[in-house]
Chains A and B, each alone.
Chain A
Amino acid sequence: DAGITQSPRHKVTETGTPVTLRCHQTENHRYMYWYRQDPGHGLRLIHYSYGVKDTDKGEVSDGYSVSRSKTEDFLLTLESATSSQTSVYFCAISDSEYLGPNEKLFFGSGTQLSVL
């Protein structure tokens, strides 16, 4: 199994507070991704990174920011959490931008975030 650790695994917070989720990998993979998964929706890409300090927006990036200061860590920040950001957040990694039979996405175990 790919070495991906997400923290925290569960978090409950209040509307308007800042929240940071952490993804840590031990695979030295270049590409890291943050997804959210909600009932009635597929996994949706929030932000991704293609190297240290190199990040880009995904399809649902509003209200989120990311940082990657080291290869192994990718942080997702909700500057001011809203109830619509209640979701399960998954981090994923890959060794290549070009996914295929040998280059897959490996997912972390997820963070359940509840914004009250």
Chain B
Amino acid sequence: GQNIDQPTEMTATEGAIVQINCTYQTSGFNGLFWYQQHAGEAPTFLSYNVLDGLEEKGRFSSFLSRSKGYSYLLLKELQMKDSASYLCAVLNRDDKIIFGKGTRLHILP
């Protein structure tokens, strides 16, 4: 089967750092995406990893370990506008994208 696990909800404080973990078991692996989705809105692309290591893009970084089937999204200097759901998604060997259930992140002032 194909399975992507991420925490359902997390809470963090404005200005702090938060790490959202994602573990996956899929039929093959051709890349991993992170999407951000604000309540009532469409998901929007954040990052893509296909090789092991860290990809940094401003306040957001994404890490991948293929041998462990593990990724995380790191958000620094949290802002209130970062309150959203974060979706982990894996491209399997058929290049089909499988989405996790998402992590709802609450930012407290």
Which of A41, A99, A109 is the one whose CB lies under 8 Å from B101?
A41
Whether, in the assembled complex, B87 has its beta carbon less than 8 Å from a beta carbon of chain A, the answer is yes
Asked whether A43 lies within 8 Å of B95 as measured between CB atoms, the reply is: no
State in angstroms the CA–CA spacing of A108 and B43 once bound together: 8
Asked whether B33 lies within 8 Å of A42 as measured between CB atoms, the reply is: no
Say yes or no: A108-B42 contact (C-beta < 8 A), given A42-B4, A100-B31, A101-B48: yes
Chain B stretch 26-53: residues in CB contact (< 8 A) with chain A: 31, 33, 40-45, 48, 50
Which of B4, B45, B87 is the one whose CB lies under 8 Å from A104?
B45
Number of interface residues, chain A, beta carbon within 8 A: 19
> Smallest Cβ distance from A31 to chain B, in angstroms?
11
> Smallest Cβ distance from A32 to chain B, in angstroms?
14
Asked whether A105 lies within 8 Å of B42 as measured between CB atoms, the reply is: no
Taking CB as reference atom, which chain A residue is nearest B47? A101
Which of A40, A42, A45, A109 is the one whose CB lies under 8 Å from B42?
A109
State in angstroms the CA–CA spacing of A42 and B34 once bound together: 13
State in angstroms the CA–CA spacing of A99 and B98 once bound together: 12
Which of A42, A105, A106, A110 is the one whose CB lies under 8 Å from B100?
A42
Whether, in the assembled complex, A74 has its beta carbon less than 8 Å from a beta carbon of chain B, the answer is no
Q: Which A residues are closer than 8 A to B by beta carbons?
A: 40-45, 90, 97-101, 104-110
The 8 A-B residue pairs with the shortest CB-CB distance, nearest first, are A42-B99, A107-B42, A43-B99, A101-B48, A104-B45, A42-B101, A107-B43, A109-B42
Interchain residue pairs with CB less than 8 A apart (25): A41-B101, A42-B89, A42-B98, A42-B100, A43-B43, A43-B87, A43-B99, A45-B96, A90-B42, A90-B43, A99-B31, A99-B33, A99-B91, A104-B33, A104-B45, A104-B48, A105-B43, A105-B45, A106-B45, A107-B42, A107-B43, A107-B44, A108-B42, A110-B40, A110-B41
